[in-house]
Chain A
């Protein structure tokens, strides 16, 4: 019996890379969203939420277009690396970063918004810079929200299908993730293999969500 180990490994690599990138980009973006008074904020908020409502094919179509050899990004990438960006691991990584953006930014921003503003101001008055205040006060008090954002991003990327199919095609070892492998099995009428891989993905996703909810602060744990 063959599980799709190669596909599973690729999915996990993709999810880990996506989570790392979205944590690095999402924390500052979310903190900015949670604290800015700029009116244009709502447009940025709407933009980060778009992947939630867009069909993956639409997002995938635009990303594919942006990665192609005729776009400035695609051309620049090819000039630097010598390989095309479309149908590559880097290509689906970029696509899944965009597609998972709300799963990171929204929990981050919600957690930051719950941090009492006066704690931040107290920290400033004690001489801590804005960046130091973020790391010493805001982030520790938002830990549960940040962790759940990272977990959701990871899980969502593992389950990503439409965008990756659009952007990555189906290149074993490069862009053939576990969800696409399942699709392949069904296409090939290999229902047994599809069932095995599906069960694997199902139990993984369930476990992730259990961990996420277990990490959520309960009412009794909330500080006074």
Chain B
């Protein structure tokens, strides 16, 4: 499957979405478009679906031009299956009629039967959607979307409307169901856990633009720039200047500190040090690379962990430690910290600081 999107969509008095995406997928993989709310992810999805007309640009799928060059293929002819937040099942139709809605007339009953069985909801065939649990609705919605034989599934924040425990449960189930569907899928979400659970490929969108595309490990562990680092939940994104770059590593001046991190930003350009809180290791002050000392400014519990904020010569650095380990950390105490240079990233700063 190949999907090419290069669209511009302006909203009066709102942001301009100018997204470019060129995906070539081997097999039925899941592409997650991830980014903060308002980044234009849904607009991108709606342009692919044919629910939104881009002001400019094109959408191509396989060898077909869906929009652009004066062509417009209506959504009915694109062969896309949609899955919405809340699943949007037809409330006035039974489960079987929902699934059969878009199934080809010939052999409809057999096809509905097969899909209901495949997703384990054959016992619910006669029920109305209002009588289904969230998990059942998800299965029925997926069966309905697959009934016409789509070439691409589009999921718009599929789990966002659910309460937290249900969401966590359905996340894992959705991954399995998508694998079972055997159709490539484009999933839009602002939920990091959802993105990490589902993605074979990740597309990061921020402020209407695609900022990074890659495998999940690439994107989550090696963010391309400071904005992506913040979006993928890197706790420490500290403004820095680049003193030198050598062998894939950069020496950064971060506040009054001098630190080494992986990455090759432009020397002299605006940059940032991006390091996850779990990669800041607290312990006796050492003297290796990236060893520093700080004063404990605050400790906040987070379930079995504790989030420790250190003041390292005026620089706020966040670390995560086991809660037991945090009990020894009194505010004001001086502790050593070290950052593995391989776990820290030196990235270009391109967004002018935190929002």
Contacts and interface: CB of A to CB of B under 8 A. Distances in A.
| Real binding pair | yes
Contacts of B130: 223-224
A53 interface: no
B84 A122 contact: yes
A176 B147 CA distance: 58
A126 B147 contact: yes
B76 A122 contact: no
B73 to A, nearest CB: 12
B90 A137 contact: yes
B189 to A, nearest CB: 17
A218 interface: no
B91 interface: yes
Given A118-B84, A121-B51, A224-B130, A126 B144 contact: yes
Contact of B102 (A116, A121, A126, A141): A126
A168 B60 CA distance: 62
B75 interface: yes
What band does the interface of chain A fall in when counting residues whose beta carbon is under 8 Å from B?
Answer: 10 to 19
Contacts of A35: none
Given A118-B88, A119-B90, A140-B92, A126 B49 contact: no
Contact of B101 (A126, A140, A223, A224): A126
Interface residues of B, number: 23
Listed residue (A116, A122, A124, A136) with the most chain B CB atoms within 10 angstroms of its CB: A122
B216 interface: no
Contacts of A118: 84-86, 88
A161 B265 CA distance: 82
B132 to A, nearest CB: 10
A125 B75 contact: yes
A129 B74 CA distance: 10
Interface string B65-108: 00000000011100011101110101110000000011000000
B148 interface: yes
Contact of A128 (B76, B80, B81, B147): B76
A127 interface: yes
Interface in A95-124: 116, 118-119, 121-124
Listed residue (B102, B130, B144) with the most chain A CB atoms within 10 angstroms of its CB: B102
A141 B89 CA distance: 12
B145 interface: yes
A127 B90 CA distance: 15
B101 A125 contact: no
Contacts of B84: 118, 121-122
Interface in A133-151: 136-137, 140-141
Contacts of B75: 121, 124-125
B125 to A, nearest CB: 18
A127 B88 contact: no
Contact of B49 (A116, A119, A123, A125): A125
A121 B84 CA distance: 10
B92 A141 contact: yes
The 6 tightest CB contacts between A and B, nearest first, are A126-B102, A125-B82, A118-B88, A223-B91, A118-B84, A124-B75
Given A119-B88, A125-B81, A223-B130, 20 more contacts: A121-B82, A121-B84, A123-B90, A124-B74, A124-B75, A124-B76, A125-B49, A125-B76, A125-B82, A125-B102, A125-B145, A126-B144, A126-B147, A126-B148, A128-B102, A129-B76, A136-B101, A140-B92, A141-B91, A224-B130
Interface of A: 116, 118-119, 121-129, 136-137, 140-141, 223-224
25 contacts: A116-B88, A118-B85, A118-B86, A118-B88, A119-B88, A119-B90, A121-B49, A121-B75, A121-B88, A122-B84, A122-B88, A122-B144, A123-B90, A125-B49, A125-B81, A126-B147, A126-B148, A127-B76, A127-B102, A127-B148, A128-B101, A129-B76, A137-B92, A140-B92, A141-B92
